[in-house]
């Protein structure tokens, strides 16, 4: 029985979104944002030389069709990504109204978001007084620190000492639909932070705030460091997803990285976490070799986004892409005859763009196991429908399997 792998390269967009003009970064529309193309162009022009050099080098994914998918999505030049595709490749369009992690992942798993997300648009005094009072009461403190839009690394540098002195949690948000709480693992307590986030999550979810995120850190005297013990308390998907479809059909499902948090741990047999993407790659390589026949493995690699995209660090983003490509090449060698592996993304985060937010873009769909094929323009939900068809489990979403549309089947 064949296996399925869905691998999300968080924020690795390829431009060309039809509705990009409706999404903004610091007041500038996302029209023209293109994460992969702009990184490749910066590399070719010598503008991404920190810790690496030369053209963007991603031979494994380019052979699957990455460069071709960028050109299909947006017509942009992709210096260094010009291979003739040997995989099945296309570009997918999102219909959900957010350019955030839950929207992209849920829609890739067959469930577009049917509502408008709630946000905190004010950059200072971001949270309404009644919510501030509610969170402070839940924390057992007289108040909160932060209450603003902020970078997670910057705000602990600015307020970490005050947090230790006062015991008040640091609460902040961004242009995403999130409520984040940073707290010191020792002085505040990791278990206390996680319990606080769990306790307040239902109130935030009722406001259609997508995630309450615990952001623990350690350190002293202004030298603070976030730890890998982050936890997302996400609103539940509004309908069964690909994970539920497979799980209910009796298939083993593996979730690597943030997938458990994003899907509220629904439809998951085994969860595989790690301190960073290097640990997650080891999980993917191990499951490529060992995952059960008929199983679904769903992985998220987040550091493109969290470490480099939001910080608008082009060299770092390029290094992450090249590192991931090396891991992808190793993973592809673990696949068995009949397996299907799809590499895709959930949104963009162009490190050359204005602001610090995600960018509205199409995403690549690169399939290993089907031979060479041009899939064309797809919907996010087509990814879920395809993997369900490959596994032989009933799909409950609106997507169309590109196996059915093209007559392809996994042969590897």
Q: What is the 3-state secondary structure (H, E, C) of the chain?
A: CCCEEEEEECCCCCCCCCCHHHCEECCEECCCCCHHHHHHHHHHCCCCCCCCCCCCCCHHHHHHCHHHHHHHHHCCCCCCCCCCCCCEEEEEECCCCCCCHHHHHHHHCCCCCCCCCCCCCCCECCCCHHHHHHHHHHHCCCCCEEEEECCHHHHHHHHHHHHHHHCCCEEEECCCCEEEEEEEHHHHHHHHHHHHHHHHHHHHHHCCCCEEEEEEEEEECCEEEECCCCEEEECCCCCCCHHHHHHHCCCCEEEECCHHHHCCCCCCCEEECCCCHHHHHHHHHHHHHHCCCCCEEEEEECHHHHHHHCCCCHHHHHHHHHHHHHHHHHHHCCCCCCCEEEEECCCECCCCCCCCCCECCCEEEEEECCCCEEEEEEEHHHHHHHHHHHHCCCCCCCCCCHHHHHCCCCCC
Residue 38 above 70 pLDDT? yes
Confidence of residue 368 (pLDDT cuts 50, 70, 90): very high
347: annotated binding-site residue?
A: yes
For the residues 355-378, what does the mean pLDDT come to? Answer: 96
pLDDT recorded at residue 175: 82
pLDDT recorded at residue 411: 56
283: annotated binding-site residue?
A: no
Residue 153 above 90 pLDDT? no
For the residues 220-245, what does the mean pLDDT come to? Answer: 95
325: annotated binding-site residue?
A: no
205: annotated binding-site residue?
A: no
| Average pLDDT along the chain | 96
pLDDT recorded at residue 412: 52
Residue 129 above 90 pLDDT? yes
Residue 322 above 80 pLDDT? yes
Residue 406 above 80 pLDDT? no
Residue 408 above 80 pLDDT? no
390: annotated binding-site residue?
A: no
Residue 390 above 70 pLDDT? yes
For the residues 237-254, what does the mean pLDDT come to? Answer: 98
- Kindly report, residue by residue over 296-317, the tens digit of the pLDDT: 999 999 999 999 999 999 999 9
Q: Provide, rounded to the nearest whole percent, the portion of the chain with pLDDT above 70.
A: 99
Which is more confident, 228 or 340? 340
pTM for the whole structure: 0.93
For the residues 266-292, what does the mean pLDDT come to? Answer: 97
For the residues 322-328, what does the mean pLDDT come to? Answer: 98
116: annotated binding-site residue?
A: no
For the residues 321-330, what does the mean pLDDT come to? Answer: 98
pLDDT recorded at residue 14: 98
pLDDT recorded at residue 405: 65
Confidence of residue 151 (pLDDT cuts 50, 70, 90): confident
pLDDT recorded at residue 407: 64
């Amino acid at each position: 029985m064949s296996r399925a792998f869905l691998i999300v390269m968080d924020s690795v967009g390829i431009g060309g979104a039809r509705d990009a003009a409706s999404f903004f970064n610091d007041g500038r529309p996302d029209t023209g944002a293109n994460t992969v193309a702009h990184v490749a162009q910066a590399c070719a022009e010598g503008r991404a030389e920190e810790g690496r050099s030369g053209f963007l080098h991603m031979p494994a994914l380019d052979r699957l069709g990455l460069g071709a998918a960028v050109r299909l999505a947006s017509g942009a030049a992709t210096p260094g990504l010009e291979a003739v595709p040997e995989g099945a490749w296309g570009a997918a369009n999102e219909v959900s109204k957010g350019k955030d992690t839950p929207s992209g992942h849920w829609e890739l798993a067959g469930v577009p978001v049917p509502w408008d997300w709630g946000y905190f648009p004010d950059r200072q005094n971001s949270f309404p007084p009644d919510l501030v009072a509610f969170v402070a009461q839940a924390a057992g403190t007289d108040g909160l620190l932060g209450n603003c839009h902020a970078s997670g690394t910057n705000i602990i540098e600015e307020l970490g000492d005050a947090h230790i002195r006062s015991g008040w949690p640091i609460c902040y948000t961004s242009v995403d639909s999130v409520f984040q709480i940073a707290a010191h693992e020792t002085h505040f307590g990791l278990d206390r932070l996680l319990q606080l986030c769990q306790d307040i999550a239902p109130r935030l979810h009722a406001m259609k705030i997508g995630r309450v995120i615990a952001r623990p850190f350690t350190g002293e005297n202004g030298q603070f460091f976030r730890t890998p013990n982050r936890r997302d308390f996400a609103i539940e998907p509004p309908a069964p997803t690909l994970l539920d479809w497979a799980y209910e059909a009796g298939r083993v499902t593996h979730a690597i990285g943030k997938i458990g948090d994003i899907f509220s741990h629904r439809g998951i047999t085994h969860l595989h976490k790690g301190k960073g993407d290097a640990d997650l790659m080891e999980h993917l390589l191990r499951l490529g070799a060992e995952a059960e026949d008929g199983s679904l493995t769903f992985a998220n690699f987040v550091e493109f986004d969290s470490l480099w995209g939001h910080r608008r660090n082009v060299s770092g983003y390029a290094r992450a892409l090249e590192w991931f490509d090396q891991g992808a090449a190793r993973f592809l060698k673990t696949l068995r005859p009949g397996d299907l592996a799809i590499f895709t993304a959930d949104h963009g985060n162009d490190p050359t763009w204005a602001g610090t937010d995600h960018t509205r873009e199409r995403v690549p769909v690169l399939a290993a196991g089907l031979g060479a094929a041009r899939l064309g323009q797809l919907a996010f939900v087509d990814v879920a429908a395809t993997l369900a068809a490959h596994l032989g489990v009933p799909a409950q979403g609106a997507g169309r399997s590109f196996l059915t549309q093209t007559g392809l089947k996994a042969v590897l």
